[in-house]
Chain A
């Protein structure tokens, strides 16, 4: 009494989740394959975005970047259009307001004291705000640029 004998003899127990030889390699292969597919997916998405950008450029919005239709990036700035600090002007203070719900932006325009200058403030659906100073004397009436057209509209150049 007092001492319990434990036999270590007999077959080793089979555990169902024990890794067997060759399994690790299989997992490694699957992981590599997955990584490869992910890489391909990313390339496909990038390709689609590039195509979308091209379509937007062709759609008459002129030098307007990708995104919510009228976003102007640094390359889109023209001689007549300069980015300025956002003043957070209200609708009441504005001389012209455009609400483009289906395109995801609003524009507010105010004629400045300096001759032919229009301050334009844009607010986008993703929360970004941008402001531009437009010299309407340098804007062609045939311009396709959304901000320039809005500035002309504000100053009365377009009906």
Chain B
């Protein structure tokens, strides 16, 4: 049991934390979401087919947990959205150098249906096929969201509107 937990943490913690942070935009809630995803995985008795399936399951569950937290009335009453956003890009430690913090900030400002596909595609290097699997959407839908999301990012960067 402990071995399994250690494996999960070592293998997926960083990636899941970044995905959670891109949704929650604050460290504490992102960590909570990741921890909850690991716990659900440990409790889940469904057989996991392979490593890719395991990874997709964890990402999907983490995103769902984040969205559930964000939708909850308690969260909306207690978290000042703008305040927590300021430090967003400083808290995502990607395994490579990001030269353009402004673009990442703009991505994090996108509505959730654009943000997750764009973040997974560009910053976690997922393919459209993988993103479609993780988000339970058709590949054509993901392509459309990537294109429209990119246009939104441009608007945020040029017009400064969220």
B is bound to A: yes
Complex interface: chain A residues within 8 A of B103 (CB): 99, 101-102
A125 at the interface (CB under 8 A from B): yes
Q: Tell me whether B74 is interfacial, beta carbon within 8 Å.
A: no
- Given contacts A90-B125, A102-B103, A97 and B97 within 8 Å (CB-CB): yes
Q: Which of A90, A92, A101 contacts B122 (CB 8 A)?
A: A101
* Contact call B95/A91, Cβ cutoff below 8 A: yes
Known: A92-B96, A125-B143, A125-B147. A106 touches B153 (CB 8 A): no
Chain B min CB distance to A10 (Å): 61
Determine whether the beta carbon of B153 is less than 8 Å from that of A101. yes
Residue of B whose beta carbon sits closest to that of A104: B150
| B residues 128-150 in Cβ contact with A at 8 Å | 128-129, 139, 143, 146-147, 150
Judge whether B122 and A126 touch: CB under 8 Å. no
Partner of A127, one of B94, B128, B157: B128
Report the minimum CB–CB distance from A27 to chain B (whole Å).
Answer: 36
CB of B118 closer than 8 Å to a CB of A: yes
Interface size class of chain B, counting residues whose CB lies under 8 Å from the partner chain: 20 to 34
A97 close to B96 (CB less than 8 A):
yes
Answer yes or no: A94 CB below 8 A from chain B CBs.
yes
What are the residues of chain A within 8 A of B64 when measuring CB–CB?
none
Min CB distance B132 to A, Å, is 10
**0/1 interface trace, chain A 52-71, chain B, CB 8 Å (1 if under):** 00000000000000000000
Nearest 9 pairs between A and B by C-beta?
Answer: A127-B128, A97-B96, A91-B96, A92-B95, A125-B146, A99-B122, A102-B154, A101-B103, A91-B125
Known A-B contacts: A101-B118, A102-B157, A127-B129. Give 18 more (CB < 8 A): A91-B96, A91-B125, A92-B95, A94-B96, A97-B96, A97-B97, A99-B98, A99-B103, A101-B153, A102-B150, A102-B153, A104-B147, A104-B150, A106-B121, A123-B127, A125-B146, A125-B147, A127-B139
Residues of A within 8 A of B (CB): 90-92, 94, 97-99, 101-102, 104, 106, 108, 123, 125-127, 129
6 CB < 8 A contacts A-B: A92-B95, A99-B122, A102-B103, A104-B147, A106-B125, A108-B125
